[in-house]
Amino acid sequence: MEKRVVVTGMGIISPIGNDVPTFWLNLINGVSGVDIIKAFSVDDLPVKIGAEVKNFDPTQWIDLKESKRMDPVSHFGIAASEQAIRDAGLNDSSLNPERIGVIVGSGIGGIQTMENQHSVLITKSHRFVSPFFIPMMIPDIIPGHIAINHGFMGPNYSVTSACATSSHTIGIAMRHILCGDADVIIAGGSEASISPISLAGFTNMKALSRRNDDPQKASRPFDRNRDGFVIGEGAGIVILEELEHAMRRSAPIYAEIIGYGFSGDAHHITAPHPEGKGQALAIRSAINMSGMNPEDFGYINAHGTSTPLNDKYETIAIKSVFGQHAYDLSVSSTKSMTGHLLGAAGAIEFIALCLALRDQIIPPTINYEVPDPDCDLNYTPNKAIEKSIHAGLSSNFGFGGHNAVVTAKIFEP
């Protein structure tokens, strides 16, 4: 019998909620998580806004001593994974730990630690650099921590593909299960890159919105007056599980993951292909793997960064794959509320897709005020809608021309 893969658990730390129910409620109510950055002084910076995680205490999830030896990127990833593991009921001694893997990525890793420890090196001496510096900084430490905490001995590694990172981890995890490498994989991404140096870097490459005077309206995907993305932080984790394994233990099932497509633009280090070719290839590949027709899909959780080029070229890519059906699709960018979580974006947006399928609700694209002639699809402006959808997809694309798309549908036994 051909294997099938389902989603049996979810966890989230985000700018609009530190658990899945809060995140989803705020998402469908159009709540923005963007504000003036409070983690450090932005007085001298031209961009002063971001989508920060709020009211988060790592010691709720991690021993105080251990937490001090971790970067916030690990704090977020561990907290979201603990939620997902509990949600799926994986804290079960009868499960075989050798058949449970962890694939969690980060686009940037522990950049706050890098920044802090470099300052120590320059202002003090090499003798004062923390011995924990390297394991705090490296992106692959996150799946390491998760596996160590639970004794999971299956496939374990990290993926880094900029903003496509956690879409890749989810797709790769599905493939591992289909290939029989594991029965269960904890997959997703974490990011904690709101720091002075990363803010300066993104600002100087003219990627960020400068709408400092109106933060909550700064992220406006597909709107004619969009001027850049808003940097966000947090983590999203999903539990992917082989269907028979899930059913034997009566696990909760949110949705079935049915396709994964990935490609490269081979065009430019930061700009997407002007004809959306790489994006279209990834979308088409994900649909082909699902065995469904383009017309069977009702919702796209778009990459939708609120940058002038991405939103235009992503629209072109969608139309090139779906043809006339593109105008019947509901499209939305939840980055309008969460900001752009970089390597964690794909995971929190896949969670949004699964919840949209479960509740038959399309979350909105908020701040959509002035239509752009180049972006002429239905972007679910400003208010969530109820809609009958059987299947949908989540797309994320990253610097370097990395494209990753995952598709899911309502679970049917």
Region of 5 (left: φ > 0; alpha: ψ -120 to 50; beta: rest) is beta
The CA distance from 364 to 347, in Å, is 18
CA-to-CA separations, 335 to 33, 184, 216, in angstroms, rounded: 10, 29, 12
The CA distance from 218 to 273, in Å, is 25
- The residue type of 335 is K
Rounded to the nearest 10°, the torsion over CA 296, 299, 302, 308 is 100
Residue with tokens 């159009």: 30
Residue among 116, 113, 127, 104 nearest 70 (CA): 113
Q: Are 255 and 7 in contact (CB under 8 A)?
A: yes
Q: Is 340 a catalytic site residue? A: yes
Q: What is the DSSP letter of 53?
A: -
- Residue 35: count other Cβ atoms within 10 Å of its Cβ: 18
Instruction: Give Cβ neighbours of residue 126 (< 8 Å, ≥ 6 apart).
Output: none
Pairing state between β 385-386 and 361-362: antiparallel
Catalytic option among 150, 163, 354, 375: 163
Q: What is the DSSP letter of 340?
A: B
Catalytic option among 145, 150, 245, 303: 303
Q: Is 163 a catalytic site residue? A: yes
Catalytic option among 145, 150, 168, 340: 340
Q: Is 245 a catalytic site residue? A: no
Is the torsion defined by CA of 222, 223, 226, 232 positive or negative?
A: negative
CA-to-CA separations, 331 to 43, 164, 182, 290, 377, in angstroms, rounded: 37, 18, 33, 19, 7
| Residues assigned a catalytic role | 163, 303, 340
